[in-house]
Amino acid sequence: MLDIQFIRENKKLVKEAAQNKGVPDRVDELLKVDEKRRDLIQKVQDLRTERNQLNQGSKGDVTQEIIEKGKKLKEEISSLENELSEIEEKYNSLMLQIPNVPSKDVPVGDSEEDNKEVTQWGKKPEFDFEYKSHFELAKDLDIVDFDRGTKVAGFRGYFLKGDGALLHLGIMNFALRKLIEKGFTPMVPPIILNERPFINSSHFPWGKVDVYKTFDDQEEQDERFLAGTAEVPLVSYHMDEVLDEEELPKLYAGYSPCYRREIGSYGKDTQGMFRIHEFMKVEQVVVCKNDMKESEKWLENLRNYSEEMLQDLGLHYRVMLMCTGDMGEPQVKKYDIETWMPGRQDYGETMSDSIVGDFQSRRANIRYKTKEGNMEYVHLLNNTAIASPRILIAILESYQQKDGSVIVPEVLRDYVGKDVITPK
């Protein structure tokens, strides 16, 4: 969340951020509630001071008049505290609905059409034969079973099998090894979580519709949720902690299953593995000092690491700077890396790299003590290092051969145990 003082002093800027990100503008409503809240806090403090002075002034000589006045003050304080409690609840709810302010170099726009291409690498593969989609290749190679997946799991279910499973696991291990070399600590976090980590990461309230939940009907307090990314638990790894500046930055690479309901996406990419409900991902989270220049350096580092992976895999891709309407509520700045997928004749998002500043750390209450002894909220960044099986689409389609086989990228051959996957 944003600092309330920042919102008070930059009302126009925050309202523009809400408008440009396409979320309801609750700024005026928040500031009215904030004013009422501050007024009530002051009144409660004044009445408490008056009651204390009354008690101290009596010096043991308690008259009926003092008793009555004390009783009246107690009732007034209790009434105001109840009102303050209701206002605080509304205030906290509104604070969670105010989006982050994008960086000045982020293009203003409504949709993906307004995103800006930053760079490309490699060339689109060319074929002198009638090439297949990953859906066809996976069936012919017998490495993904969509039919039985649907039978067992329902719509968009799948089984990775044989070389498909090995390729999938190889990609995850390849990514983890790459990040360990870059100084990241590998993490396998919990994915069934309480509500607060989703609030901390800003997936709630905005993205709640896309999250699976599980709870005991008899015990609603046991309600928990399935995370769609390891970002959610990793952002909360240090919640309610105070770190030392010397500890920063902290670099985490979370390997986990991911679960998403994909509400509103029905009818899009219904065949294959592009838009599915569960997948595996290696997610990076960086915890660094409250310094935007340092955060921007880490944003570029995270982007470079993902680009290195795609270059090692020999896949053509482009980097997009996301516009305000397509970047998400918590982000200050965001890159999407999109990999070419011949079967779609289009690029598909495979990585997503973001600065969120102290927007998440204020929610998670993660601070650090500076060398001068001051307290600051940390900055947080996140990036999808790689996700599978979506990346399999680009590999299978880009490396397919005329005889129906698929060449295994060199960096994955030790994991798969072969150079070529051939039709059964």
Residues annotated catalytic, as ranges: 260, 275, 349, 352, 390
CA distance 257 to 253: 13
CA distance 198 to 236: 9
Q: What is the edge-to-edge ordering of all strands in the sheet holding 212-216?
A: 192-193, 219-226, 212-216
| Tokens found for residue 238 | 């240090």
Cis bond upstream, residue 389 (ω within 30): yes
Residue recorded with tokens 């689109």: 124
Residue 58 belongs to what H/E stretch? helix 27-58
Please name the residues in contact with 130: beta carbons below 8 A apart, sequence gap of 6 or more.
none
Instruction: Tell me the chain's radius of gyration from C-alpha atoms.
Output: 27
Q: What is the edge-to-edge ordering of all strands in the sheet holding 116-121?
A: 116-121, 317-321, 333-341, 346-357, 379-388, 278-288, 250-259, 185-187
CA distance 299 to 289: 13
Residue 242 belongs to what H/E stretch? strand 242-244
Please name the residues in contact with 336: beta carbons below 8 A apart, sequence gap of 6 or more.
115, 319, 320, 322, 349, 351, 352, 353
CA distance 137 to 157: 17
CA distance 21 to 235: 23
CA distance 72 to 39: 20
Please name the residues in contact with 259: beta carbons below 8 A apart, sequence gap of 6 or more.
191, 211, 212, 226, 227, 228, 277, 278
Residue recorded with tokens 């690029």: 347
Q: Are 232 and 203 in contact (CB under 8 A)?
A: yes
Pairing type for strands 250-259 and 185-187 reads parallel
Helices 163-181 + 390-398 axis angle, to 10: 110
Instruction: Classify residue 196 by its DSSP letter.
Output: H
